[in-house]
Amino acid sequence: MKLDAAQTKLLRTAFKGRSRAELKKLFALVRSHEDRALLAAALPKKKAAPKRKGDPLVRELEQTLKPIMGPSIEKADMLIEHIAKKHRRKLGIEPKGLADAAKRLRASKFSDDQIRAGAQSLMAHLAKLYGDRETVV
């Protein structure tokens, strides 16, 4: 099999400045491995897209409501019920999680501070109801 002029030129430019021994090692390497392995070793790795940072309010709500054992849907339901009761408003919101609850509460004209305070007062309310300390009457 003969190489045409374009292939010869390509090889000369690609291997310019290499010694004969280096070229022999390189050709042996190419013969002994599959194309996939050679390309994986030769080409740079693809950079993963940077992770989007989540909403800081949602992260804070997750941390605040962490002691509640249960799925985030239940935590979100409890938070919305508590905020609705606290502000004496009817909220017809059925969230799919804490992020959805925060988004819908913001849409219902609640500020981030009000939502944070609602989560903290919910935890205080639950601690008061189900705390481990016994009261004597």
Six token digits for residue 12: 């000369």
Six token digits for residue 21: 């021994």
Who has greater pLDDT, 48 or 77? 77
Six token digits for residue 95: 């969230």
Whether 81 contacts 90, CB under 8 Å: no
Handedness of CA 102, 106, 112, 114 (dihedral sign): negative
Residues 6 or more apart whose Cβ sits within 8 Å of residue 106: 112, 115
Residues 6 or more apart whose Cβ sits within 8 Å of residue 77: 94, 95
| 122 has a pLDDT exceeding 80 | yes
Model-level pTM? 0.58
Q: List, for residues 24-55, the tens digit of each pLDDT value.
A: 998 898 889 898 888 888 888 888 877 777 88
| pLDDT at res. 44 | 83
Whether 118 contacts 109, CB under 8 Å: no
Query: 133: pLDDT confidence band, cut at 50, 70 and 90?
Result: low
| 57 has a pLDDT exceeding 70 | yes
**Segment 66-95 mean pLDDT:** 90
| pLDDT at res. 43 | 85
Six token digits for residue 131: 């705390």
